[in-house]
Each structure stands twice: as C-alpha cells, then as structure tokens.
Amino acid sequence: MLHDRPWHQLGASAAYSLLRKGGPQKLWMEMTNRAVRDDLSEVLRVQMGIHTEPLNRRWYCQETGFDTLGREVEYTHRDHEWLVAHPDDMRFADDGSLVVIDYKHTSDQMLEHRLLQNYTAQIHIQAACAASATGHGTKIGELSVFFGNGRWRRFEIPIADDYTDALLKLYKNFHDCLIEDRPPDPASMDVPDQPPPPVPYLETDMSLDNAWAENAATYIRTKLAASEHKNADRALKDRIADDVRIATGHGIAVTQTAKRRTIKILESSDDE
C-alpha cells in the first residue's frame, strides 16, 4: 500500500521532474512536505490514461501478437532499496530479455519526438529496476500509445547503459538531498543527454512535389495575414469596457459575456 512506503521512495515517474529546470527543487519541496503536491485525481489527461489502460493493453496484444503478464509489476532496485518502478506491463523477448511496457494516452496533436523525450528516461529507470530485481537483461522498453481516439503506435526504446548509469547517479544525488534534508544544488544535479530517439529523422527535398509546392506557397502567403488577424482580434476585444455587452462599428460586433469576448462580421445590411 502507498502509505506503507518510505516517504523518500522514488519511482520512475520522478525522472519527469528531475530532468526539468526547477523540477528537482519542486519535487524536493513536495516530498519534504514543504509544498503541497498536485492532485492528479482532477487532471483529466492523467485520469484518461488510467482508465484507457485496459483497452490499451488489449490493443497492444492484439496488434503485436505478444503475450504479456497482463498487469502492473513492481520492481525494487537491489542496490537502491528506495528506488521502485511500476511498469504497466512486461513480457519476455525471444532472446529471453525482459521488456517493460508502459501504456499511454495522449493528444492526437502530440509530436512523437516530444513524447519520446518525455518518457525515455522513465522507461530506462523501469528497465534498470526490472533487471536488478529479476536478474534478466533488458535491451528495449516499449510505449504503447493512443493518440487521441483514432491512432495507435508502439515505440521500441533501446536501453542505453551509459544513459541508465547517468540517470541512477542523478537519482542517487537527489535521494541524498532528501535524506540529508538539504535542497538540491543545481550544480550537482547533472542532467544526462538523452540517447538519439529510436525513430527515423531524415532530411528530404520536396521541391519536385507539386502538391507540396502549392500548399507551401499558400502557407507563406497567409502566414502574415493570420498573424495580423490574431493581433487585430486581441486589440478589438481589449478596446471595449468591462460593462459593455455589445460593441458595433465598421462591419463587426464584439459581444461580451461573463466568460469571453467574441467577434462577429456583420452583413452590410445589419451595419447600416
């Protein structure tokens, strides 16, 4: 149970904080009860991920043909008893190595390289704990991801030993700060460089693609107009006083409610 765990226990998800500017200080404040932790029960995207996990697990097995354990696993690192990982699932590869799996649900607009930046470290910590606890080697970890409600992708993340070692050093430094009750010194919280993302990043010349040429020209032609439109929208809305419900003139009407201000283009007959 969560309340039985040591207050200084760290999980793989802590990597998200430890690798970001100001993240170690914020996490240290929360874990030492100097600040209140965010209530994730009221964060919709987090709850969506939790509640779509069973479907994600079934979809992963259906699309890959792999057999998985079928449940979340807890692994405690033998050399660091305060480091515990909870991958959503696991399986064994054909060579006998252990594969940790995390199920994610994200926006359909999420860029794949950004997703991998967010979770590569977490997968490495999960793999390190799994390898330490079981004695099985780990060569890859996996993300099974729903993008919105219409796209699924599986990502293989190669486990880089050097990167894992650097992450464990970062975790150890932060844990020392918890035990010694001293704020993390940014100078000692060296953030390791991530290994290259496991997806292709090629450069290609689209100059001979006619559809590309047509849309590129449209993009360039309309980009400035779009920026001007956005600035005018903001300026018009800022011009009306808080007690004005509708402001009209020069072919437009700005309507104000308790929540927002909206602009409508008037027909010429309505503006007369």
Residues in the chain, pLDDT under 50:
1-3, 269-272
Angle (CA) 195 57 150, round 5°: 80
Q: What is the pLDDT of residue 104?
A: 95
Other Cβ atoms less than 10 A from the Cβ of 102: the count is 25
Cα-flanking dihedrals φ and ψ of residue 210, to 5°?
-65, -40
Q: Decide: 27 and 18 in contact? Cβ < 8 Å.
A: yes
Q: What is the pLDDT of residue 4?
A: 65
Q: What is the pLDDT of residue 39?
A: 86
Q: What is the pLDDT of residue 3?
A: 47
| Reported pTM | 0.71
202-223 per-position pLDDT tens digit: 567 889 999 999 999 999 889 8
Q: What is the pLDDT of residue 269?
A: 45
Pull the structure tokens for residue 268.
Answer: 């010429």
Cα-flanking dihedrals φ and ψ of residue 81, to 5°?
-65, -15
Q: Decide: 42 and 134 in contact? Cβ < 8 Å.
A: no
Q: What is the pLDDT of residue 196?
A: 66
Q: What is the pLDDT of residue 76?
A: 97
